[in-house]
A and B are shown apart, each in its own frame.
Chain A
Amino acid sequence: MLYINCPHCGLRSQNEFAYGGDATVKRPELNKEISDQEWDNFVYLRKSPRGKHLELWHHISGCRQWIKVERDTSTHEIFKTYKANEAIE
């Protein structure tokens, strides 16, 4: 079970969190004309990298903040966690 350092609450067990997928995906702006391909990429297409991955976790049984977690998908090592609006190094 992962041990996730919530930037708001500190180290908490994985069972307090819900996984939220790839954190690098950016939603297209509202009212912007975009191609079907661009929209499909946003809605459906996700990379599933082996190794470092920036992902979203929701501290659902804690502070209810969405956070970003930089994690190695094969070793589960967590390198750094970020608040939702924090700049990614």
Chain B
Amino acid sequence: MSQDFRLDNVGMVNREKKISFKFNGKKYFGFEGDTIASALIANGVHLVGRSFKYHRPRGFFGVGVDEPYAILQLDRNNERDPNIRATEQEIFEGLEVKSVNCWPSVNFDIGAINNFLKMFFPAGFYYKTFMWPPSFWYKIYEPFIRMAAGFGEASIKHDKERYEHKYEYCDLLITGSGPSGLASAYAAAKNGARVILAEDKPRFGGSLLTSDVNIGNQTGVEWTEKIIAELKSMPNVTVKNRSQVFGYYDHNMLVMSERISDHLPKTQKYLPKQRLWYIRANEVLISSGSIERPLVFGNNDTPGVMLSSAAKEYMKVYGVLVGKKPLIFTNNDSGYETAIEFKKNGVNPIILDTRSNPSSDIITEAKNLNIEIKFSYVVVAAKGYKKVKSADIAKISDDKKELFNIENIKCDCICVSGFWTPSIHLASQSGNKSKFNEKIDAFVPDKSKQQENTIGSANGIFTLEETIKDAFDKGFDVSNKITEKNNKVSVPTVVEKKSTDHDKFWCVPLPKGKSYKRFLDFQNDVAVSDIELALREGFRSIEHVKRYTTLGMATDQGKTSNLNGLQLVSDIENKVVPQVGHTTFRPPYTPVSIGAIVGREVGKHSKPTRKSPMHSWHEKNNAVFVDAGVWLRPRYYKQGNEGLFEASKREAKNVRQNVGVCDVTTLGKIDVKGPDAAEFLNRVYTNAWLKLPVGKARYGVMLREDGIVMDDGTTTRISENHYHMTTTTAQAANVLSHLEYYLQLVWPELNVNVVSTTEQWAGAAIAGPNSRKLLMKLFPDLDVSNEGLPFMGYKEADLFGVPAKIYRISFSGELAYEINVESDNGYFMWEKIMEVGQEFQIQPYGTEALSTLRIEMGHVAGSELDGRTIPYDASLEGLVSKKKDFIGKRSLNRSAFTSTDREKLVGIVPIDKTTSIPEGSYIVKDPKAKLPNPKLGHVSASCWSVEYDNPFSLAIIKDGKNMIGQKLFAMSPLKNKTIPVEIVSSHYVDPEGKRVRS
């Protein structure tokens, strides 16, 4: 297809480079530098989508971030990107986009029937239409709404693109490179400040790209190019295009999304697709400009009705005509600029000006160019379904209430200008309470809340001369606070033709007998009648009106609709707009892709992975790993066709019969040092620590202040003032913070230091009846007899030339030792243990076998110490000292904690000795009791006892100590199982604890 609406030799696109792309499967051509919107308009395509509610035809309304209509779905390298604004996305060779919210096609959309069923979709239709009968909700209403709603479909595939995060600091961040942004950046940079200038479009300059002005004897474009070139050459300045500052957060943290590769066919090597910048700025100048306000009239959503500034930008930047028979409908001078641009390009526009008798240089110029101007004229309604074909226009009375001489004139586009709305979003996000400026009928920022100032038209300054002067001053002032260099540059002279007067009229009354839809919110199909209805139904707060009608709640966040909505409410309510107030602006200013927010923290990079020094040995020996916090631990070592159950059973059995070795590197380790270390431990643990001799370990339990068990582990006295504490893998970080809290804040008088040594030591637990024989071979010079190294003893020795620490402690209830060596020697230690252990039938065992061993011994772990249990519940009351005070002790006196029928740890065995009991099952007396069946407790951990070869579980049940011998039921509604069980002692194996002491 040829580009019938492309102008020759006008615009900034690269005519040398023709680019082909596909829209809804059809091939089109554009030029490098085109957006999808400009390229489609060049090809005469104006129908790109369907509206959200009524599925009315949608074209292009704007030319940038404010676009409410042209939301498309993009396919790029087999990736799918929904919610793309056609006015922002640049075309590249092979680009494929399609319309959303229409089926089967944008030209013939079945949903458009909604347009004829309007009476079912009034304001608040979600709350009205879909209420009754209730049974319809799941079956009919919800599926229907889900099918009809949404702009595009997100891909369910993993996004292979790369996204990065970057942290940056600067003296001054400037958000927008229009005249005020450029001027302030230049002034601040020349004054030595570290400046970041961000521009969301590919081209710098903002309104200077399209306005017919003169700065320092240069055109706006020439001046922009000069300033940008100079800024780029300065080492203290970062200039970024395609970068949207979308959020203003606390303490002057702003977030910017940089689109690095979205305009390219493929992400380049070593570059991300997008980069999210977290910028901490000392000062911020918000120069985000303003967005033209629509005028409201009948069928003002018809494709071909667009903002006059957009029409001008399509001509001046892209060399594209939005129509060849344009009607300009304006209440201020901005429409004249667009009209003159049309005229210069050989197209005859007609201007309808709502004002009766305005005058300015630009109006004189338009008259001199013989442009047809009709004063006190309005568009009553656009005509045409998929594209504007004509317009009903009329003369309007001076009080703007009555229409005369309604006539129909041919046109193919209607360019509207209802004056300008400052983009105060960032200032508002910063906490700046805005104020209403009567002169411009819009909100502008009030007093700065954080270190932010708003400049240019974002601050309601609409003359270029004032904008430039103010921006130079602000750039100097804020930079001088920081640099104190006093280097002020001179302000250039400015020539501009248009005046900044406007008519406050914005909404054309309906002619008698007509019921045209006059839209306020183009994306969510909110019309004047919807707001009127909401107010009639009693909604008053603008926040309620917004939610009830969905005004301003679409993906464009009402950039073009908010103010007109407020005007309407204030007109009906007879209030002034500031009394109505506006709704809250929240980040993001424009949609941000989830990928950019997530950055590199995706998949296995979503958290760090920690591996023990023996990890590669486990890998080589068919270990199947399990996540234990951020650690990877061997769950079991697979032999042949074994599954988890067979392998863990074999490994656990081998520990009970011969000897096994388990990697316990992941256990938390904390060095506790200082003359008051013993006293400190005595306050931290529930049991007594003052008399523990050097060379001995002790098991300890620590509580939170509320009496709940926090963690358990052994701590060994290495020397007089040095203790080696171990914690569970999961609680290691919390325990360290806990200890630091008490040392730094509660008992600063204690002379103790704590530091994590988890990663300094590699640990191997050797367990089983053969473990002493193995130890004798590993440490031939050491006395490892029961007398030489008794239970809970500690020795240091040499392991084939490597210094090692030997703790006689046990997780498994077997005779066991834990050997620690420096992490670098961990692999060596492990290999030696396996090599020497061969003659004793050693096998490595994983966490699953470890669990089996500890469960059948009745040792509590994380599943019992679940943040709800006090020592008594976990049968740890024997470790609670009556004599001394410690953290959490006072809580144990609370009445609930001293009641005698508390839930307590027990063992349970299925009566049939074969059915495994699912973890989490409830224990009940009568499985057939009326619901809710009283619950006696729950199953905390289950295993297959290798000692007795039947299932065994631990459970915490009410009055547990008096329940031994009772026959009850374990019920798992999730697994749909009811299992008769017998309550037994939690110490299922070796209840006297003889083995660990053997």
Binding site for B on A (CB under 8 A): 1-3, 13, 18, 20, 27-28, 30-31, 34, 36, 39, 42-44, 56, 58, 60, 64-66, 75-76, 78, 84-85
Contact = CB atoms under 8 A, between A and B. Distances in A.
A58 B746 CA distance: 14
Nearest to B749: A85
B748 A84 contact: yes
Contacts of A20: 741
Given A1-B249, A27-B746, A30-B885, A43 B891 contact: yes
A79 B726 CA distance: 39
Given A31-B885, A34-B890, 9 more contacts: A1-B249, A1-B251, A3-B250, A3-B253, A20-B741, A43-B706, A60-B737, A66-B745, A84-B748
Given A3-B252, A39-B890, A66 B280 contact: no
A64 B167 CA distance: 22
B255 to A, nearest CB: 9
A31 B449 CA distance: 49
A75 B431 contact: yes
A33 to B, nearest CB: 10
Most chain A C-beta atoms within 10 Å of own C-beta, residue among B449, B740, B746, B890: B890
Interface in B436-481: 449
Contacts of B705: 27, 42-43
Given A13-B280, A30-B885, A75-B431, A2 B891 contact: no
A22 to B, nearest CB: 12
B719 interface: no
Contact of B737 (A13, A27, A36, A58): A58
Interface in B706-745: 706, 737, 740-741, 744-745
A65 B743 CA distance: 10
Given A34-B890, A39-B891, A2 B746 contact: no
B253 A1 contact: yes
B894 interface: yes
A44 B708 CA distance: 13
A44 B706 CA distance: 8
- By secondary structure, the A interface counts as loop
A19 B885 CA distance: 27
Contact of A3 (B251, B884, B894): B251
B890 A66 contact: no
B683 interface: yes
B23 interface: no
Contact of A18 (B252, B449, B737): B737
Most chain A C-beta atoms within 10 Å of own C-beta, residue among B449, B745, B746: B745
Contacts of B431: 75
5 contacts: A3-B252, A3-B280, A43-B706, A66-B745, A78-B251
Interface in B884-900: 884-886, 890-891, 893-894
Nearest to A85: B748
Interface in B739-781: 740-741, 744-746, 748
Contacts of B699: none
B625 interface: no
A52 B432 CA distance: 20
A17 B746 CA distance: 19
A7 B749 CA distance: 20
Nearest to A4: B251
Interface of B: 167, 249-253, 278, 280, 431, 449, 683, 705-706, 737, 740-741, 744-746, 748, 884-886, 890-891, 893-894
Contacts of A58: 737, 740-741
A66 B745 CA distance: 7
A1 B250 contact: yes
Contacts of B748: 84-85
Contacts of A43: 705-706, 891
B788 to A, nearest CB: 39
Given A31-B885, A43-B705, A64-B740, A56 B251 contact: no
A66 B744 contact: yes
Nearest to A76: B250
A71 to B, nearest CB: 10
Given A1-B249, A1-B251, A76-B251, A28 B741 contact: no
Most chain B C-beta atoms within 10 Å of own C-beta, residue among A1, A36, A56: A1
Contact of B251 (A2, A36, A39): A2
Contacts of A84: 744-745, 748
Sorted from nearest, which 4 A-B pairs have the closest CB atoms?
A: A3-B251, A30-B885, A84-B744, A76-B250
A2 B280 CA distance: 10
Contacts of B253: 1, 3, 13
A27 B747 CA distance: 10
A66 B885 contact: no
A50 to B, nearest CB: 15
Nearest to B255: A1
Most chain A C-beta atoms within 10 Å of own C-beta, residue among B251, B884, B891: B251
A78 B250 CA distance: 11
A36 B740 contact: no
Contacts of A3: 250-253, 280
A6 to B, nearest CB: 13
Nearest to A18: B737
Contacts of A85: 744, 748
Contacts of A2: 250-251
Contacts of A18: 737
A4 B577 CA distance: 39
B164 to A, nearest CB: 17
Nearest to B704: A43
A42 B888 CA distance: 11
A51 B280 CA distance: 24
Nearest to B755: A64
Given A3-B280, A56-B745, A84-B748, A66 B740 contact: yes
Contacts of A64: 740
B159 to A, nearest CB: 24
A34 B894 CA distance: 12
A76 B252 CA distance: 11
B447 to A, nearest CB: 13
B890 A28 contact: yes
A20 to B, nearest CB: 7
Nearest to A29: B885
B745 A36 contact: no
A51 to B, nearest CB: 15
A84 B196 CA distance: 37
A18 B734 CA distance: 11
A58 B431 CA distance: 27
Contacts of B706: 43-44
A76 B746 CA distance: 26
Contacts of A75: 431, 449
Contacts of B745: 56, 66, 84
A16 B748 CA distance: 23
A66 B891 CA distance: 25
Contacts of A31: 884-885
A45 to B, nearest CB: 12
Contacts of B741: 20, 58, 66
Nearest to A65: B744
A22 B719 CA distance: 37
Contacts of B740: 58, 64-66
A37 to B, nearest CB: 11
B300 to A, nearest CB: 41
A85 to B, nearest CB: 5
Given A28-B890, A31-B885, A43-B705, A1 B278 contact: yes
Contacts of A39: 890-891
Nearest to A40: B894
Contacts of B250: 1-3, 76
B125 to A, nearest CB: 37
B526 to A, nearest CB: 33
Nearest to A3: B251
A16 B250 CA distance: 15
B845 to A, nearest CB: 34
A60 B705 CA distance: 21
A42 B706 CA distance: 10
